[in-house]
Chains A and B, each alone.
Chain A
């Protein structure tokens, strides 16, 4: 039943996100073309637009997830969602899973847009064709690969992924908890204002508790690139060879366990509120 709930939550939200992603990718394609015109005004507008759009994407993603939770659970749609023959824990899990999915999808589309932007920009800037550069790219990648940077990044990502995953799940669980809280009999007035204030307060308190318990789990060394006109690929390679990270196992474990405790606590809290204090208007 959980899978079905997630499926219907994704179906209910994909329209908002599809529009956003199409706009992001379109800007990544159009952007380099605008730059190639060398028109300063157009370029300034483009960068202003890109900056604004990046912020807007993050805000829209966040707002759409808030809408998903409040609309699907506590507006008229809640009369359907909350009367489905499913366990309360499945309702909570499906909402958190959907929020996490869209958060990561947004990051993936950002990454894709950035790659598209730089690739198209490179081709326009150099005026080269794909078959000209493919050999060069392969050679450059080979040299970069010899520095071991890909291993470093891969290992760091491998270690970093559980942290960012737990962090996203925690953010979604906190959001769902607060939205649920302001839709119960405990808060009957100024629900939106109370929700915003409680979310900021809870984020601050929970974040500072955890940050006082541990330091940085993954600490990258500074990447020093001192390049001049005579610098070659070897100088870049040397700089990359020196790039690495230190891994603090204890801090890493504390962060993971701390986030897990928060997730479980907030999950149980949301469950209790839905089972005991729910008050749909």
Chain B
């Protein structure tokens, strides 16, 4: 589904991604793990076409990043990307207009579950509410690939469970879910496989069960060992 070959990205001499090669197939939930500044968001931006100046090749469903691949990927960035002036209803209309795979019925039911008011202006929503609302929009698409950048990064522990359940209950089983996070303990139980990124390099890409068996420890414990300062 996603083929990344020898991708290197530099910012003014600093290497954010260093010769990264990955192959990600459908039907899996993949954890993209690494400390801040390890290159997770850079890789995600490249997959979504927000960074174009890099070397190497990225293919999604056999295509270079273009309007076709953007139609396949449902992307949740690590920030609020909806304009403040709109209300939830306006954002829903926009998604309905722009994404052929957007399921409005699913969205309405998610709004209810997440206790969000469709008439509420985004600027009056708290940070947590905005994050839940964006997640609902993203998960209401019947996409082939979900790319979620730090979906639980800015919410309290109680909301984390709700968000994880929302993700688990709303992705199609034949789709690929790529989740970037540094809060591993909260989320490692949902991963099928994990990628460790360290200083722009892939230091591990393996199935979760295999890592646990080989290393005899949880993903979080192994993460701490790999990234110990």
Contacts and interface: CB of A to CB of B under 8 A. Distances in A.
A184 B53 CA distance: 8
Interface in A1-55: 1, 4, 7-8, 11-12, 15
A144 interface: no
A83 B85 contact: no
A83 to B, nearest CB: 5
B48 interface: yes
Interface in B13-56: 45, 48-53
A277 interface: yes
Nearest to A186: B53
B154 to A, nearest CB: 14
Contacts of B97: 4, 7-8
Nearest to A184: B53
Interface residues of A, number: 29
Contact of A279 (B51, B75, B99): B51
Contacts of A4: 97-98
Interface stretch (A71-79, A102-110, A168-176, A242-250): A71-79
A86 B67 contact: yes
A8 B94 CA distance: 7
Contacts of A276: 52-53
Interface in A59-76: 76
Contact of A83 (B70, B79, B82, B100): B70
B98 to A, nearest CB: 5
Interface string B75-92: 101011111010000100
Contact of B85 (A15, A84, A85): A15
B53 A78 contact: no
B83 A77 contact: yes
Contacts of A1: 98
Contacts, number: 70
Given A4-B97, A12-B83, A83 B50 contact: yes
Contact of B52 (A84, A85, A275): A275
Interface in A83-141: 83-88
A12 B86 CA distance: 8
B77 A79 contact: yes
A278 interface: yes
Nearest to B97: A4
A198 interface: no
A278 B80 contact: no
A191 interface: no
Nearest to A280: B50
B134 to A, nearest CB: 9
Contacts of B127: none
Nearest to B137: A80
A78 B71 CA distance: 16
B68 interface: yes
B66 to A, nearest CB: 8
A86 B94 CA distance: 14
B11 to A, nearest CB: 7
B49 A82 contact: yes
Given A15-B85, A77-B81, A85-B98, A278 B67 contact: no
A279 B52 CA distance: 7
A194 to B, nearest CB: 15
B12 interface: yes
A9 B53 CA distance: 27
Interface of B: 11-12, 45, 48-53, 67-68, 70-71, 73, 75, 77, 79-83, 85, 90, 94, 97-100
Pairs of residues from A and B, 6 with the lowest C-beta to C-beta distance, nearest first: A85-B71, A79-B81, A185-B53, A80-B81, A280-B50, A278-B52
Given A87-B67, A280-B45, 11 more contacts: A8-B97, A15-B85, A77-B82, A78-B50, A86-B98, A184-B53, A188-B12, A275-B52, A278-B50, A279-B51, A280-B50
20 contacts: A1-B98, A4-B97, A7-B97, A11-B90, A76-B79, A77-B83, A78-B81, A79-B50, A79-B79, A79-B81, A80-B82, A82-B49, A83-B50, A85-B68, A85-B71, A86-B70, A185-B53, A278-B50, A278-B52, A280-B51
